[in-house]
Amino acid sequence: MNKNADVVVIGGGAVGTAITYYLAKKGLKTILVEKKDYAEGTSSKCEGHLAVHDTEPGYFSRLSKLSLDMYPSLIDELEYDVHYKEMGIGLLCETEEEVEYAKKIMKGKIEEGIPARFVDQYELQQREKYIAKDILGYVDYQCDSQLDPMYLCYGLALEAKKNGAEILNYTTVKDISLNEKGEVEKVITDRGDITTKTVVNATGVWAPEIGKMVGLDIPIRPRQGQILITERTSVKVVQQSYSEFGYVLTKKGKKRSSVTPEMDEYGVALVIESTPADNYLIGSSRIFGDMNTKNSIEVIKAIAQRAMRFFPILEDINIIRTYAGVRPSTPDGYPIISDTKVPGFYIAAGHEGNGISLAPITGKLISQIICGEERDIETKAVNFSRFQENN
């Protein structure tokens, strides 16, 4: 198999399939190379929240909002049903300090044009009959939504194919060769070579391996997260999806007074997502380390305890499975959506826990960067050159 392409995208997760879709739509001859099936890496080991609720006001928040705004029309373009559900996500507050901090963030978000409102304890009790009585309320981020991340990958890939893209699943990139000027020349796979001048590295937590092939040091490291799956239950545990405000705090590495030492150590914060199948997905944890995707009893126990603290009704509901994934995290918490000093080599990786939310805007921005078009938002904050000491 020897082929040629305008662009080769490496990585068949949400980010890679989105990029392939946007490039193919522009009429570029695009080949997606994925070492296994779609969503094999992180996009099948996460939750499906599309979120602006987990960031403070600023560039990341604005980038997320742009991406979320793209979803309704993108969903219309996809033939595949990705179980997209617009319903808002609530950020639950446990203490007065959290309420105060959450309201402050909310104010900044509203100024950015993000619809949000604080729902007090009384109204929370009216809406959610199973919530612990002492939870003080939540910030309702009404533009947040959810979908099935795996189906998103299938849907984007299928649509990319209809637009002329070629997909090579179960194909491993062995090397990338550069010409004498140092420009991208060829992608070498275990199934043959692809001649191309343009490569996009969308391999998330595996991005450093691909970067090495062209002499780049990409500072992405794995951050593990574990999730529980409940049995299908007719108990309507929640009317919408929630995270606890502590999730925002753990992302910032802040200590919380209200949790056990284990929860603090493993960065455990409640995330609860209802699914169309009536299973609930319950997270979350944050552990920096290696590529380990195994579950550990200490962590899933702490997650179960944290979930019961908010929703005591869960006590008698069964957990049928657990899973764990590694999120690609960067030193400053921002993704990399950028060209590099290697002509023809682009990076779209390091989205940590926001890859599903940011997939559409990432796909669109990369296509704009490659084609030299005006960008939907300036990309200085996500440029790879910020890690200059590495490169």
Partner 1 sequence: MSEKKDILVCRCEEITESEIREAIRNGAHTITDIKRRTRAGMGLCQGKTCFKLVSRILADELGVKAEEILPQTDRPPVRPISFKTLGGDGDE
- What residue ranges bind partner 1 (CB under 8 A)? 36-40, 44, 150, 154, 169-170, 231-232, 277, 279, 295, 297, 300-301, 304-305, 307-308, 314-323
Nearer to partner 1, 76 or 316 (CB): 316
Measure CA 346 to chain center. 19
Closest contact distance (angstroms) between CB of 201 and partner 1 is 22
Alpha-carbon span 53 to 90, nearest angstrom: 8
User: How deeply is 63 buried, as exposed, middle or buried, from its count of CB atoms within 10 A (0-12, 13-18, 19+)?
Assistant: buried
User: Least distance in Å: CB of 279 to partner 1?
Assistant: 8
- Tokens describing residue 187: 């992608």
State which residue, 37 or 112, has the beta carbon closest to partner 1. 37
Q: 52 vs 307, which CB is nearer to partner 1?
A: 307
| Residue 197 · residue 183 · CB < 8 Å | yes
Cβ–Cβ < 8 Å for 46, 388: no
Q: What is d(CA 10, CA 7) in angstroms, rounded to the nearest whole number?
A: 10
CB of 261 to partner 1, least distance (A): 15
Nearest approach in angstroms of CB 157 to partner 1 is: 9
Closer to partner 1 by Cβ: residue 319 or 381: 319
- If you write DSSP's letter for every residue of 359-374 in order, what string do you get? HHHHHHHHHHHHHTPP
What gap in Å lies between CA 152 and CA 165, rounded to an integer?
A: 17
Comparing CA positions, the residue from 194, 174, 198 lying closest to residue 184 is: 198
Beta strands in 26-144 (DSSP E): 30-33, 49-50, 85-86, 89-93, 116-120, 137-141
Smallest distance from the beta carbon of 123 to partner 1, in angstroms? Answer: 26
By beta-carbon proximity to partner 1, the closer residue of 60 and 266 is: 266
Q: Hey, how many other C-beta atoms are within 10 angstroms of the C-beta on 256?
A: 19
d(CA 99, CA 87): 22
Residue placing its CB nearer to partner 1 in the complex, 26 or 191: 191
CB of 343 to partner 1, least distance (A): 33
Q: How far is the CB of 318 from partner 1 (least distance, A)?
A: 4
Query: Which CB atom, from 183 or from 231, has the smaller least distance to partner 1?
Result: 231
